[in-house]
Amino acid sequence: MIVTPPPVEDAEGHVAEMYAGDLDADGFVFAHTQAMAVNPDAHLAFESLIRAILPSIGIRVYEAATLGAARTIGSTHCLLAHGRKSLRADVVDEEGLGAFARGDDSAFSAAEQTVIRYASKLSSDPGAMTDADTQELREAGYSDRQIVDITLAAAARNFFSRALLALAVPTDAVPGLERSLAEALVRSARSGGRQQATADR
């Protein structure tokens, strides 16, 4: 990573809050946090966007959209971070997350799997999307507001993940993730989620 982030000891304002959040939770400041600290106003705007999205769709659907997008983009940063968040929020258990890393989304509900597919297509070929894609969300039971917010959640993940990848931000180990599970998520990122589920092998 070529850009130089603000030093931890000199952090002020929102940058200090960003760093403190990592330090309090994990004892160190993640490289992706430091990269985003170069423009704290943009990071604050991103956080505001996520806060505006979450109320209508809830944490489960938000994480389904986030994980689906991150896997397709190939973002190790976001797969590891949101893999851990999904475990801690009881969105999925370790077995289910491991299956997801292998391309098997069956640990998620049918409606959530629709969100994962939608987020994946948005992240790989958005120009090919049509009303048929949003109709699948409608048929899964999502309202107009939820469809828009699912779209925003996946698009927001594209913004964040692609920025980190473009800046070549190093990927830190995420405390609290079992090693083999973390390795499976990294492999999934490298393959863009194209690995076949072990059950099909």
What pLDDT digit, counting tens, does each position of 78-115 carry?
999 999 999 999 999 999 999 999 999 999 999 999 99
pLDDT at 80: 96
Given a cut of 70, whether residue 15 has pLDDT beyond it is yes
Q: How confident is the model at residue 191 (pLDDT cuts 50, 70, 90)?
A: confident
Residue 92 near residue 111 (C-beta atoms within 8 A) = no
Q: What one-character DSSP code corresponds to residue 92?
A: S
Report the C-alpha gap between 70 and 120 in whole angstroms. 8
Instruction: For residue range 125-151, list pLDDT tens digits in order.
Output: 999 999 999 999 999 999 999 999 999
Tokens 């190093």: give the residue: 170
Given a cut of 70, whether residue 10 has pLDDT beyond it is yes
Residue 118 near residue 112 (C-beta atoms within 8 A) = no
Given a cut of 90, whether residue 36 has pLDDT beyond it is yes
pLDDT at 75: 95
Report the C-alpha gap between 120 and 46 in whole angstroms. 20
User: What are the E-state strand segments in 11-158?
Assistant: none
Nearest to 68 by CA among 103, 120, 3, 25: 120
* Mean pLDDT of the region 12-38: 96
* Mean pLDDT of the region 14-43: 97
Domain 58-200 in this protein, CATH class: mainly alpha
Given a cut of 90, whether residue 32 has pLDDT beyond it is yes
Task: Report, in angstroms and rounded to the nearest whole number, the Rg of the chain calculated over CA atoms.
Answer: 17
Q: How confident is the model at residue 200 (pLDDT cuts 50, 70, 90)?
A: very low
Given a cut of 50, whether residue 8 has pLDDT beyond it is yes
Residue 101 near residue 184 (C-beta atoms within 8 A) = yes
